[in-house]
């Protein structure tokens, strides 16, 4: 049975939106450490350890109704809070345009995913702490194109990678200073003071990581440093002439007349100190820095016109001459692009909070694996059976490292579902964490790990494409069923280890996958509440096209891993490769069936198995 005309059109329009909001130009310039260099992943490990061991209270439970302000003009403070949250939200959406410039620079890509996730948590933390000073219901509306037209101009997508790193350094430095300003103007208590200190440490770790990554990039490719144009560095921010940033600077200035000049001077001094700039320069008049010239306004109007005209033309091409009954869905699709949206509707943190709540129960980080393996390294007793399993685990590590591509496939839908990205980028970081945990475990066992180095990982990435996760329904099923399979795979492999320490690490990874599966299930329920047709449409889509795909199916190591697992079970006996798949498919079917109402979910288990088994074919 083919998809209904309505659903087919709906998904085609979603794909057009996805290609608009997540269409990138990926760099194929390799800048990595190779051949088992001891500094492989060193900057990432240091950064991840620094920020994750702070134990910040990202979802405060205490009521902030009694939060007192030191400033007399609370209206100005409320404006600062509002513009900061809106600017940071827009900036985190735009962050997706940076990793493609480092697509073959593996440590940089992994670091940006972790940086993205950590900043999402900080943004929501500020929202929870200070939200009472200006309720989100009163925020000004958010308009996609107005905040994203900078990168919709393809020339801005392809900029020197070192310059884009300077953009991030500048952004992080400013973000950290504004957050400290928000805390400084509030009446302090012990809890707030502790969080303020931890956030200051967090931002310093971000700054160190980005600066060290810039210097590493120049070391690996000196020609970039030689061609670096210092005059290209913006005075305050690469988005400084756009309204949202200008409003934020206005709010800062109204509370502290020296803030803007002080920040500019601090940034310039920092860049000179680390050899990014050869000398400091004075800040031009703010009217020139923060406002577009007439020519710039015309330029971005033209960019917007090109983008919108192409979008409208693409929409028209998928609608045939007899599609008058589809007017409603066409209008809805175009309105999502052109209409301003209530900020409360796009900043829904409910699933994010559920994710954080569930993750907190089992939270662990890569440095916990380092400490755990260091404790037992001298006592590790590893059998031939364990070494054979470690070879399989290595292939799983490759697939987990591939999570960058999976995560940005998921982001294809961010143009429509903003709240989804709030938590899904954290899941992507968790998957990358699994790669690094496996890397640490292999190193502790003395297994050769040079093929887990930065350069090798960079060479296996495939650029994300909209057609991989064609619709929001595909995206859900591929992730939900993939997580369900991963849970079963990790548990069965853990049971086969004879070394108890390896079993422990595998169970930590499994715990994460359980959380991911539960949160995707919560996402399913949330979508059903938001759209009364979502359950029915998703089921129809699943029947016709979503099954038979695994998250990492486009990664060559996924197929290698599945073959090695099959051979291992055939060789060892006890459980066959077929029984392994049987347990996985059984779990997937039951999990899926539990989501749907009985009148909609009528697929037999045999039918499901026949459709889904091709995702795991050896």
Q: Of 535, 391, 403, 392, which is closest to residue 472 (Cα–Cα)?
A: 535
Question: What is the rounded CA–CA span in Å between residue 408 and residue 22?
Answer: 8
Query: 31 lies in a domain?
Result: no
Residues 500, 419 within the same domain: yes
User: What is the average per-residue pLDDT within 292-297?
Assistant: 92
pLDDT of residue 261: 96
Residue that is last in its domain, among 280, 298, 316: 298
In the DSSP assignment, the letter for residue 86 is: H
Lowest mean pLDDT segment, chosen from 169-178, 303-312, 331-340: 331-340
Quote the pLDDT of residue 320.
61
State yes or no: pLDDT of 73 exceeds 80: no
Q: Could you give the number of structural domains in the chain?
A: 2
Q: Average the pLDDT over 380-409 and give the result.
A: 85
Task: Find, among 392, 378, 394, 507, the residue nearest to 441 by Cα.
Answer: 394
pLDDT value for 166: 98
Residue 3 has pLDDT above 80, yes or no: no
Are the C-beta atoms of 26 and 404 separated by less than 8 Å? Answer: no
What confidence category does residue 182 fall into, taking pLDDT thresholds of 50, 70 and 90?
A: very high
Structure confidence at residue 175 (pLDDT)? 97
Same domain, 450 and 366: yes
Q: Is residue 321 over pLDDT 70?
A: no
Lowest mean pLDDT among 428-432, 456-460, 565-569: 565-569
Buried b (16+ CB within 10 A) or exposed e, 574-590: ebebeebbebbbebbbe
Decide if 387 is inside a domain: yes
Is 228 found in the same domain as 376? no
The pLDDT of 549-565, averaged and rounded, is 81
Q: Which of 257, 280, 298 is the last residue of a domain?
A: 298
Give the DSSP per-residue string, 123-188: HHHHHHHHGGGS-GGGSPPB-HHHHHHHHHSHHHHS--HHHHHHHHHHHHHHHHHHHHHHHHTB--
CATH value at residue 186: 1.10.620
Evaluate if residue 62 carries a pLDDT over 60: no
Predicted structure pTM score: 0.93
pLDDT reported for residue 332: 65
Say if residue 282 is in the same domain as residue 423.
Answer: no
Inside any domain, residue 269: yes
- What would the two tokens of residue 167 be? 């953009």
Q: Both 377 and 280 in a single domain? A: no
Residue 61: is its pLDDT beyond 80? no
What is the rounded CA–CA span in Å between residue 351 and residue 343?
16
Flag whether pLDDT at 36 surpasses 90. Answer: no
Confidence of residue 529 (pLDDT cuts 50, 70, 90): very high
Q: What rounded mean pLDDT belongs to the chain?
A: 87
Check pLDDT > 70 for residue 483: yes
The per-residue pLDDT for 559 is 82
Per-residue pLDDT band at 330 (split at 50, 70, 90): low
Q: What angle do CA 538, 542, 544 make, to 5 degrees?
A: 120
pLDDT grade for 567, boundaries at 50, 70 and 90: confident
Q: Which residue has the higher pLDDT, 98 or 618?
A: 98
Average pLDDT rounded to a whole number, residues 574-588: 80
Average pLDDT over residues 316-320: 73
Is a pLDDT exceeding 90 seen at residue 245?
yes
Per-residue model confidence as pLDDT tens digits over 349-366: 999 999 999 999 999 999
285/172 same-domain check: yes
Percent of the residues in the chain that have a pLDDT greater than 90, as a whole number: 53
Rounded Cα distance between 538 and 524, Å, is: 9
540 band by pLDDT with thresholds 50, 70 and 90:
very high
Q: Binning pLDDT at 50, 70 and 90, where does residue 313 land?
A: confident
Q: Averaged over 589-598, what is the pLDDT?
A: 94
Residue 307 pLDDT > 90: no
pLDDT band at 179 (very low <50, low <70, confident <90, very high): very high
Both structure tokens of 602: 């009528």
More confident residue, 562 or 521: 521
- pLDDT of the residue at 371: 94
Q: What is the DSSP string of 274-319?
A: TTS-SS--PPPPHHHHHS--HHHHHHHHHHHHHHHHHHHHHHHHTS
Examine residue 329 and state whether it is found in any structural domain, yes or no: no
361 and 292, same domain (yes or no): no
Is 310 inside a domain boundary?
no
pLDDT, one tens digit per residue, over 108-162 is: 999 999 999 999 999 999 999 888 889 999 898 888 778 788 998 888 999 999 9
What does the pLDDT read at residue 334?
65
Across 280-294, 312-326, 557-571, least confident range:
312-326
- pLDDT for the residue 401: 87
Asked whether residue 35 is domain-assigned, the answer is: no
The answer to the question of residue 456 being in a domain is yes
What's 359's domain CATH number?
A: 1.10.620.20
Report how far apart, in Å, the C-alpha atoms of 204 and of each of 51, 274, 473, 474 are. Answer: 9, 14, 40, 39
- 167 — pLDDT class (breaks 50, 70, 90): very high
Structure confidence at residue 311 (pLDDT): 83
Q: How large a percentage of the chain has pLDDT more than 70?
A: 91
> Residue 462 is encoded by which pair of tokens?
């495939």
CA–CA dist 353, 128 (Å, integer): 11
One domain, residues 259 and 358:
no
Calculate mean pLDDT across residues 459-463.
Answer: 81
Point out the domain boundary residue: 263, 298, 333. 298
Q: Which residues have C-beta within 8 Å of that of residue 561, sequence separation ≥ 6?
A: 392, 395, 396, 398, 399
What is residue 557's predicted lDDT score, i.e. its pLDDT? Answer: 83
pLDDT recorded at residue 584: 86
The residue with tokens 């005309």 is: 5
Numbers of helices and strands, H then E, in the chain: 27, 0
What is the pLDDT confidence band of residue 173, given thresholds at 50, 70 and 90? very high
Residue 553 has a pLDDT of 75
- Greater model confidence, 327 or 266: 266
Mean pLDDT over 538-567 rounds to 84
In this predicted structure, the answer to whether residue 439 has a pLDDT above a threshold of 80 is yes
- The answer to whether residue 329 scores a pLDDT higher than 70 is no
Determine the pLDDT at residue 71.
Answer: 64
Q: Quick one: 61 and 201 in the same domain?
A: yes
Q: What is the pLDDT of residue 468?
A: 63
Shared-domain flag, residues 105 and 230: yes
At 379-393, the pLDDT tens digits run 788 899 999 999 889
Poorest-pLDDT segment among 95-109, 218-232, 339-353: 339-353
Q: Are residues 408 and 537 in the same domain?
A: yes
Q: Is residue 327's pLDDT more than 70?
A: no
Domain shared by 542 and 447, yes or no: yes
pLDDT at 525: 95
Q: Residue 26: inside a domain, yes or no?
A: no
Q: What is the per-residue pLDDT for 552?
A: 77
Its domain, for residue 79, covers: 42-298
Can you tell me the mean pLDDT for 477-491? 89
């Amino acid at each position: 049975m083919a998809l209904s005309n309505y659903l087919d059109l709906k998904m085609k329009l979603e794909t057009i939106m996805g290609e608009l909001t997540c269409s990138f130009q990926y760099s194929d310039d390799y800048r990595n450490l190779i051949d088992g260099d001891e500094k492989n992943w060193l900057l990432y490990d240091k950064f991840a350890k620094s920020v994750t061991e702070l134990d910040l209270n990202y979802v405060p439970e205490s009521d902030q109704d009694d939060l007192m302000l030191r400033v007399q003009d609370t209206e100005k403070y409320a404006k600062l809070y509002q513009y900061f949250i809106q600017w940071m939200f827009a900036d985190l959406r735009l962050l997706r345009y940076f990793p493609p410039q480092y697509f073959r620079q593996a440590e940089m890509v992994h670091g940006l995913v972790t940086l993205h996730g950590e900043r999402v948590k900080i943004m929501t933390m500020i929202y929870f702490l200070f939200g009472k000073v200006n309720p989100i219901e009163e925020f000004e509306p958010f308009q996609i194109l107005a905040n994203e037209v900078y990168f919709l101009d393809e020339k801005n997508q392809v900029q020197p990678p070192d310059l884009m790193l300077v953009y991030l350094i500048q952004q992080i430095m400013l973000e950290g200073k504004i957050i400290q300003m928000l805390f400084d103007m509030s009446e302090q208590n012990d809890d707030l003071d502790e969080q303020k200190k931890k956030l200051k440490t967090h931002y310093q770790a971000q700054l160190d990581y980005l600066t060290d990554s810039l210097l590493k990039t120049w070391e690996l490719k000196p020609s970039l440093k030689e061609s670096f144009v210092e005059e290209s560095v913006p005075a305050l921010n690469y988005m400084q002439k756009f309204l949202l940033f200008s409003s934020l600077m206005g709010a800062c200035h109204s509370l502290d007349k020296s803030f803007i000049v002080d920040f500019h001077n601090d940034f310039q001094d920092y860049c000179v100190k680390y050899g990014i700039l050869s000398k400091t320069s004075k800040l031009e008049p703010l009217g020139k820095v923060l406002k577009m010239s007439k020519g710039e306004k015309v330029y971005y109007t033209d960019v917007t016109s090109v983008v919108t005209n192409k979008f409208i033309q693409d929409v028209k091409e998928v609608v045939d001459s007899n599609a008058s009954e589809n007017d409603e869905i066409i209008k809805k699709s175009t309105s999502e692009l052109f209409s301003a949206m209530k900020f409360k509707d796009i900043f829904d943190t409910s699933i994010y909070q559920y994710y954080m709540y569930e993750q907190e129960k089992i939270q662990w980080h890569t440095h916990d694996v380092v400490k755990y393996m260091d404790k037992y390294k001298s006592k590790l007793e590893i059998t031939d059976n364990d070494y054979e399993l470690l070879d399989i685990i290595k292939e799983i590590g490759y697939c987990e490292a591939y999570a960058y591509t999976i995560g940005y496939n998921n982001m294809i839908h961010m143009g429509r579902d903003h709240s989804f990205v709030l938590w899904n980028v954290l899941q992507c970081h968790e998957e990358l964490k699994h790669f690094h945990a496996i890397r640490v475990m292999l190193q502790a066992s003395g297994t050769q790990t040079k093929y887990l180095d930065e350069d090798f990982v960079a060479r296996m990435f495939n650029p994300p494409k909209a057609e991989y996760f064609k619709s929001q329904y595909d995206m859900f099923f591929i992730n939900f069923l993939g997580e369900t399979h991963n849970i079963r795979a990790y548990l069965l492999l853990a049971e086969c280890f004879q070394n108890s320490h390896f079993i422990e690490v595998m169970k930590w990874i499994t715990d994460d996958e359980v959380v991911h599966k539960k949160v995707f299930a919560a996402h399913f329920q949330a979508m059903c509440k938001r759209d009364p047709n979502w359950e029915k449409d998703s089921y129809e889509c699943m029947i016709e096209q979503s099954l038979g795909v695994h998250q990492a199916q486009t990664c060559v190591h996924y197929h290698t891993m599945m073959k090695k697992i099959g051979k291992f079970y055939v060789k060892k006996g006890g459980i066959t490769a077929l029984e392994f798949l049987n347990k996985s498919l059984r779990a997937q079917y039951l999990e899926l069936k539990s989501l749907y109402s009985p009148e909609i979910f009528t697929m037999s288990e045999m039918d499901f198995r026949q459709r889904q088994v091709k995702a795991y074919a050896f």
